[in-house]
Amino acid sequence: MTEGQDKNNTLSSKLWLDAHTDALAGLYVFGQGMELVDLQADGDYKLVFADLGTNAAEGAGKLKVYKGVALSSEHTLLDLPSSLVAFYMDSNVPRIPALAVSSSSSVFIYKNLRPYFKFSLPSMNINDVERDLWSQAASERINAASLRDALESLQSEIGTKGMTTRSQRYLMLEGFQEMKTFLKAHAFPENELKRQSVVTCMTTLKKSRDEPGALTCLIVATESGHLYILDPEAFTALTSAQMDGVPSHLVATGLYDVEYRVLIGCRDGQIFQARRGDLMAKLLVALPSAPIAVHLFPRIFVAPCMDNSVRCYSLQGVYVWHDNLPASPLASELIHIEAKGLLLVAIALENSQIRIYSNHTLVDGFQTPEPVVALKFGRYGREDNTLALVTRGGSLLIKILRRTANFKTRDIPDSSTEMTTKGKLNVPKRTKLFVDQTLREREHYVAMHRSFQRDLFRLRLATARAFVQSMETGATPVSTDSSLPLKVGAQVIGLGPTFRVRVELSNTSSNIPLMDLAVTFNFDDKLYQIQQKYMKADFLIPGTSLFLETAVHFISDLGLADDLQVLVLHNDDPIPKLTALIKMPVAEIV
């Protein structure tokens, strides 16, 4: 957007209805902790939050379910949640979805809002030096200060990412007394040293069918840079990939059993891509700052970034466009309006604005009482297009898109609207011939369709036969034989009655030389006489062209012209390999 557009833009939208506002909701969630899901498969969608709780330091979150405008139920979680997704784990009827809540190194599965299964991340290898240091500390062979010095030295060698959580927490301690207390609590022989990563984000991927309620795979990304795709029934890792970054955002498309694409946004601004069969995710693009979300479109992806910008790239990593934002983005959501086939991006800003973009064009926006930190678009209750927002102060806002909403570019007139306001179109009256033809099509639609299909098949058959015949007789100017990478071209020079015909032979290969080539002509000897009817090309270097020329005399007294065929022969084979057709001009008779 330009500065002029920003000044004139008040962001007072009339497309959204204020359905509900709860300033006392007390929610503490982020964008990855919200879901709109049909929990009972009755068509009544609920709003589910993975809430961090009012006292997050105690390490207990809550699973909150909203129905309508009220809190329906609340369930205590075992640990602080990092993300929440809904997925289908079986094919039972009715199609009741499950909820997956990631906490620390585990993913908790809830079915009917009851604990169903716990998936734990696989353990990782522990450095031998680190294991030995903690073993010595457990047997009191080294003191707290020596342990810290040794761990700091190891940290400089393998990095913090390669160390266990216990070592990382120990290196964060400052006082000597704190380190001694930590050793007493953790460094004893019975407390086995473990190295497990933590889940940073999740998303879902359809397994074999792209339809509502189909089996869905969980995709889990970890702090250590691993990506796991889990089986929805056995909850085992179907495949995994690795990347050189810490994932913070995931988005996937496709089918696991066919072909899929997963985009991974990392904290350092790198965007990786993992496809079927990849063991290492490939770096797609490096953004100038960390993304707050990644939205996948059919041919592009859009990433709002922390440097007050929105950036768009193709799925091959090619830069497409970017726009600057008036304030820092806090949250973002993809708005998919199925009835209108629209894909929009909503961005919540630090200045309490919600901006909605179509590509890089601002199409709508509105103001909120305070900055929004999480938002979710989808079906809520029985309303298809609902936007749920959570503010920084914990308030819950619910807005419903008007059914007559029309997203169009601001400050750009709608040409279709202008046309309708000028007057009605001059539609001609229906003639008797038109009415008779319409009745005929209604009565004989089956016969007409069959006749059309029959003619279409005949046309395809005739085309295929002509193509095969041209390939067999060499009636094309370009060879399809890999052993004969050759192309022929010809041009006529002059006005007549004497012309000069130039034939160009091109070797299209980069490493195959061609030998024993010859050029001859097929023509009407009553009209033309050719000086050299047979020309040889003994050797043709790869990637080069050879020009052969001969004179053609028009010998008739009639002002006629005919076609001249250029035939290319190989190894004295009488069957031409290539053919070029020359449309001879009418000669000027002197």
- The Cα–Cα gap between 83 and 89 comes to 18
Domain count, the chain: 4
CA-wise closest residue to 79 among 108, 99, 54, 100: 108
Q: Is residue 465 part of a domain?
A: no
Q: Are residues 36 and 50 in the same domain?
A: yes
Claim to verify: residue 245 and residue 354 sit in the same structural domain: yes
Residues in the chain with pLDDT < 50?
A: 1-9, 411-422
336 touches 343 (CB < 8 A): yes
Token duo for residue 358: 């179509």
Please give the pLDDT value at position 190: 66
- Clarify whether residues 105 and 132 are in a common domain: no
Sheet with 34-37, strands from edge to edge, namely 34-37, 46-51, 62-67, 70-76
For 71, counting Cβ atoms within 10 Å of its Cβ (0-12 exposed, 13-18 middle, 19+ buried), the class is middle
**Domain with 206 in it: what CATH number?**
2.130.10.10
Within-domain flag for 415: no
8 A C-beta contact, residue 284 and residue 271? yes
CA 550 to chain centre: 57
266 shares its domain with 361: yes
pLDDT at 7: 40
435 plus 548 within the same structural domain: no
- Both 504 and 525 in one domain: the answer is yes
Summarize pLDDT for 213-236 with one digit per residue, the tens: 899 999 999 998 999 999 998 899
Are 87 and 39 part of one and the same domain?
yes
Q: What is the pLDDT of residues 43-61, one digit of tens each?
A: 899 999 999 987 555 557 8
The CATH code of the domain that includes 542 is 2.60.40.10
Residue whose entry in the numeric block shows the structure tokens 């983005």: 329
Tokens found for residue 81: 């949640």
Residue 105 belongs to a domain: yes
> In sequence order, what E strands does 350-497 have?
353-358, 361-367, 372-380, 383-391, 396-401, 486-493
Q: Are 135 and 119 in contact (CB under 8 A)?
A: no
Question: Quick one: DSSP state of residue 45?
Answer: B
pLDDT in the model for residue 392: 93
Q: Are residues 311 and 222 in the same domain?
A: yes
Quick one: 380 and 265 in the same domain? yes
Alpha carbon 368 to chain centroid distance? 31
Strand partners, 272: 264, 283
Residues 87 and 205 in one domain: yes
Contact 406, 417 (CB under 8 A): no
Judge if 295 and 305 occupy the same domain: yes
- Do 541 and 494 fall into the same domain? yes
In a domain, 410, yes or no: no
Say how far apart CA 107 and CA 120 lie, in whole Å: 6
The span from the CA of 80 to the CA of 579, in Å, is 75
Report the alpha-carbon distance of residue 455 to residue 463 in Å, rounded. Answer: 12
- Please tell me the predicted confidence (pLDDT) of residue 125: 85
43 domain residue, yes or no: yes
Residue-number span of the structural domain to which 524 is assigned: 486-583
